[in-house]
Structure 1
Amino acid sequence: MTQLPQREPVLRTFPMPKDLNAAGDVFGGWIMAHVDIAGAIPAARRARGRIVTVAVNSLVFREPMFNSDLVSFYAQVTKEGTTSMTVEVEVYAERDPANPKIVKVTEATLIYVAIDGSGKKRPLPPL
């Protein structure tokens, strides 16, 4: 039985009917956009300022997502360079309130870069 991670999600939401694809499942593009938002939260905190997404190294859809799912996004910085950070994102769906079930639906690895006010790379600040 899958369980939610023992930390706070960075983002939690319900997909809405407008977020469905032609088959009635949540559109993959909606999930991708929210994965990027979730990954940007710890990246911006670590950078203490502006960041940009420079790569999505992997994005795996493990299970379909439905419009009745409560979706939780967990993200953390797992690697740092001089200006860049690798962020791992895991996405879980809580479904069927009458018979609760948690499913890991997506996982992704993204890279963000800290930038200054003019859009140029800048070093990450010391911890």
Structure 2
Amino acid sequence: MTPTVTEPAGALTIRTLAMPADTNPAGDIFGGWVMSQMDIAGAIAAVERSQGRVVTVAVEAMTFIAPVKVGDVLCVYTSIERVGTTSITVAIEAWARRDRLADRVKVTDGRFVYVALGEDGSKRAIAPLQAKPD
């Protein structure tokens, strides 16, 4: 049996309010809207780590766990999972705060892959992290 996860993993990267314009006919927020918020958050994390422009090249995994409702605050958390020569894999979790209160529900998670680009639009190498001086 899988334990219930009650705390998000990673850093809070974006937070936004789910609005009526983002709903499907059943009244739930479109999965594509949630996915786009996750992609934005993942790109923010990838840009910070790569120190430059990135593009999304793949969504390796995505699981919709629970619906997002109008009025929920969608909180998207990111953590860098892997850094390759030119690509970065970001683990992303989306949590909904129901009725804008403290109750959080994990609604989606996934793994997104970004590639770093140079000024000319071609792939570029990602510099290794520099050790911080004492």
* Cα contact 1:2–1:102 (8 A) shared by 2: no
The alpha-carbon deviation at position 68 of structure 1 amounts to 1.4
Tell me which amino acid in the other structure corresponds to 1:124.
Answer: I
User: Aligned to 1:94, which of 94, 97, 108?
Assistant: 97
Cα deviation 1:37-73 (Å, max 9, x = unaligned): 0101110001100000000001110000001111100
Structure 2 partner of 1:16: 19
Q: Tell me which residue corresponds to 1:64.
A: 67
Alignment of structure 1 residues 39-118 onto 2, 5 Å: 39-96=42-99, 101-118=103-120
Identity over aligned residues, as a percent?
44
Deviation string 1:83-127 (CA, Å, 9 cap, x unpaired) is 0011000000111467x5321000010100100011100000121
2:12 is paired with a residue whose SS is coil
Letter in 1 for 2:48: R
SS in 1 for 2:15: strand
Query: How many angstroms apart in 2 are the aligned matches of 1:74 and 1:31?
Result: 13
TM-score, normalization by structure 1: 0.91
Distance 2:120 2:67 in 1: 40
Amino acid at match of 2:75: S
**Which structure 2 segments of 5+ residues have no match?**
130-134
Measured in 2, the distance between the counterparts of 1:97 and 1:39 equals 23
Residue in structure 1 matched with residue 31 of structure 2 by the alignment: 28
Between the aligned partners of 2:36 and 2:100, the Cα distance in structure 1 is 26
What TM-score do you get using the length of structure 2 for normalisation? 0.87
Structure 1, unaligned stretches of length 5 or more? none
Once the two structures are TM-superposed, the CA of residue 8 in structure 1 deviates from its matched residue by: 4.2
- 3-state SS of 1:10 partner: strand
| Paired residues, number | 126
Distance change in 2, residues 1:97/1:72 (3 Å): closer
Q: Which amino acid aligns with 2:104?
A: I
